[in-house]
Structure 1
Amino acid sequence: MTWEGASCICINEGKLLMVLQGKPEEDKLWSFPSGGREADESLEECCVREVWEETGYKVAIKKKLHKKEGVSFGIQYKVQYFLAEIESGSPVIQDPDGLIYDIKWVSLEELDQLSLSFPEDREFLISMLSKTEEII
Structure 2
Amino acid sequence: MFWEGASCICLHKGKLLMVLQGTSEEEKRWSVPSGGLELGETLEGCCIREVWEETGYIVKIKEKLHIKEGVSFGINFKVQYFLGEIVSGFPKIQDPDGLIYDIRWVSFEELKHLTLSFPEDRELLMNYLAPFADII
Identity percentage over the alignment? 72
Shift >4 Å, 4+ stretches: none
Tell me which residue corresponds to 1:78.
78
* Aligned AA (1:102): D
Tell me which residue corresponds to 1:87.
87
* Aligned AA (1:78): K
Tell me which residue corresponds to 1:121.
121
3-state DSSP class of the match of 2:91?
Answer: coil
The gaps in structure 2 that reach 5 residues or longer are: none
Instruction: Please report the RMSD computed on the Cα atoms of aligned residues, expressed in angstroms.
Output: 0.7
Tell me which residue corresponds to 2:25.
25
Tell me which residue corresponds to 2:35.
35
Q: How does the TM-score come out when normalised to structure 1? A: 0.96
Tell me which residue corresponds to 1:3.
3
Q: Compute the displacement of 1:113 (Å).
A: 1.0
Question: Deviations along 1:66-96, whole A, 9 cap, x unmatched?
Answer: 1000000000000000000000000000000
Give, in whole Å, the separation in 1 of the partners of 2:127 and 2:86.
Answer: 20
Matches within 5 A, 1:91-102: 91-102=91-102
* Aligned AA (2:43): L
Q: How does the TM-score come out when normalised to structure 2? A: 0.96
3-state DSSP class of the match of 2:24?
Answer: coil
Q: Compute the displacement of 1:131 (Å).
A: 3.3
3-state DSSP class of the match of 2:113?
Answer: coil
- Say how many residue pairs are matched: 132
Give, in whole Å, the separation in 2 of the partners of 1:63 and 1:76.
Answer: 24
The gaps in structure 1 that reach 5 residues or longer are: none
Q: Compute the displacement of 1:107 (Å).
A: 0.2
